[in-house]
Amino acid sequence: NAGVTQTPKFQVLKTGQSMTLQCAQDMNHEYMSWYRQDPGMGLRLIHYSVGAGITDQGEVPNGYNVSRSTTEDFPLRLLSAAPSQTSVYFCASSRPGQRRYTFGSGTRLTVV
Residues contributing to the site for another protein (CB under 8 A): 4, 31, 33, 35, 40-45, 48, 50, 58-59, 90, 92, 96-97, 99-101, 103-106
User: What is the nearest approach in angstroms of another protein to the Cβ of residue 47?
Assistant: 10
Least separation in angstroms between residue 100's CB and another protein is 6
Identify whether the C-beta of residue 45 lies closer than 8 Å to the C-beta of residue 35: yes
Nearer to another protein, 18 or 54 (CB): 54
The three-class DSSP label of residue 83 is: helix
Using alpha carbons only, give the angle 15, 24, 47 rounded to the nearest 5 degrees: 55
DSSP single-letter state for residue 69: S
